[in-house]
Chain A
Amino acid sequence: MAIDIDISRRLGDRMIAARFVAGPGLTALFGPSGAGKTSILNMVAGLLKPDRGHIRIGDRTLFGDGIDLPPEARRVGYVFQDGRLFPHRRVRANLLYGHHLAGPADRWMGLDEAAQFLGIGDLLDRWPHSLSGGEAQRVAIGRALLAGPEILLMDEPLSSLDAARRGDIMVVIERIRDELKLPILYVSHDRVEVDRLATSVVTIGE
């Protein structure tokens, strides 16, 4: 399933633009901080509106040709840099938030399966503030997967973790790429991460 993106957006005096077609596997959006990589993910997720262009997943148009789907209709999972778990809900309720909202036909993973896949079965009754950085990021990934997305966006998901945790989460990301075969758009400014994880690389902000 190809992700076809051709968008631009002016933010203040900066021009953010991207044009690429991402195939299966993990496509890294690579470039220096401040190049607008996160803005591109936000436009794909529907949190930021492009000035022009189009965003298509397979034969589904998310934006362009007079279409501008709201975020909740895009089936685009988003793992944020800071996890962004809901602080007033336990881990279980965080994980199930999008799962309950997705149509039964759109879900492709259950809670038990996700908990096992991510190794977070012991965390279900905990509150987000009591989790370590690595645990929180696993839960954030699980929450996105359980909503039944067609693609996954990841915005520097390793940047707040120490070296040991980074390795753990990289293994999780590789398994999402290879076992779940979920197309991933992955933002990073770290060459090592990109070399290890990326199927293809799009350079942003030349």
Chain B
Amino acid sequence: MLSPEEWGIVLLSLKVGVVAVLATLPIAFLIAWVLARHRFPGRMLVDALVHLPLVLPPVVTGWLLLIAFGPLGPVGRWLESWFGMTLMFRWTGAALAAAIMALPLMVRAMRLSIEAIDRRLEGAARTLGASPWHSFWTISLPLALPGVLAALVLGFARSIGEFGATITFVSNIPGETRTLPLAIYAALQVPGGEAAVTRLALLSVALSLGALVLSEWLVRRTHGARHRHGD
């Protein structure tokens, strides 16, 4: 049904999306937790920085990544000399661009659910003998789980749809950085490429719907159990 080339594009998109979201999740949770629970000088600045990719034109985000992670950039040079690692023109760079673009959405989703936790439940856990860590793992984190799942879905959807920052930072290289949106864009440039565009667009819709259905199922599984009785 799918040509080997199309399979390659889909698998690359999935790889970029999954890696971006899983790598961002712990960082985004930490940021969400700190923003939800702590008051400190510079909190507004952290909040603004996290949200920047949401409001900046993606091409500007891509350009900033190019400056920071390019071979002459401060982070890029450091990665190259210590780990022999370059992100530019690589799928890992596409994952980084996707991660940066997904970060604000993931932080927002988790922050809301962390703020919704009844903190008095944590106090109750402490009086029952739980250390702060134990209370976090057994009370706070499970209660924040709906937000974590929402963050995964939003982040993944954002990642596999990422275009502007990706093409600016890692270009549009077949087999390496050409994810679905970039492939659609490339096909649009080719005269008579309408059929290819249609197929890729349908693939894109199928992928997004699949993610949505999967998340709905996950939410029902984790959330549904405790609300199955009564209401």
Q: Hey, which bits of chain A sit against chain B, CB under 8 A?
A: 45-47, 70-72, 74, 76-78, 80, 84, 86-88, 97-98, 101-102, 126-127, 129-130, 143-144, 147
User: Are B121 and A84 in touch, CB under 8 angstroms?
Assistant: yes
Given the known interface contacts A86-B139, A88-B142, the answer about A143 and B128 at a Cβ–Cβ threshold of 8 Å is: yes
- In the assembled complex, the Cα of A74 lies from the Cα of B129 at a distance in Å of 8
Contact A98 B129 (CB under 8 A): yes
The answer to whether B121 touches A72 (Cβ under 8 A) is: no
B121 adjacent to A129 (CB under 8 Å): no
Tell whether B124 is near chain A: CB-to-CB under 8 Å: yes
Chain A residues within an 8 Å CB radius of B129: 72, 98, 101-102, 147
- Whether the Cβ atoms of B143 and A98 lie closer than 8 Å is no
Q: A101-B134, A126-B229, A127-B229 are in contact. Are A84 and B128 (CB under 8 A)?
A: no
Nearest CB of A to B140, in Å: 11
Asked whether A97 lies within 8 Å of B125 as measured between CB atoms, the reply is yes
Q: Give the contact-size bracket for chain B.
A: 20 to 34
Q: Is the CB of B139 within 8 A of A77?
A: no
Per CB-CB distance, the 10 closest pairs between chain A and chain B, nearest first, are: A98-B128, A101-B129, A71-B126, A78-B127, A84-B124, A130-B229, A130-B230, A72-B129, A147-B128, A47-B123
Partner of A129, one of B125, B127, B230: B230
Q: Answer yes or no: B36 CB below 8 A from chain A CBs.
A: no
Within B180-231, which residues are at the interface with A (CB < 8 Å)?
Answer: 226-231
A-B contact pairs, 30 of them (CB 8 A): A46-B127, A47-B126, A47-B127, A71-B123, A71-B127, A72-B127, A72-B131, A74-B127, A76-B127, A77-B127, A80-B124, A84-B118, A84-B124, A86-B124, A86-B125, A87-B121, A87-B143, A88-B142, A88-B143, A88-B226, A97-B130, A97-B138, A98-B128, A98-B129, A127-B226, A127-B227, A129-B226, A129-B230, A130-B229, A147-B129
* A129 CB contacts on chain B under 8 angstroms: 226-227, 229-231
Q: What is the bound-complex CA distance between A199 and B125, given in angstroms?
A: 29
- Chain A, Cβ-Cβ closest to B228: A127
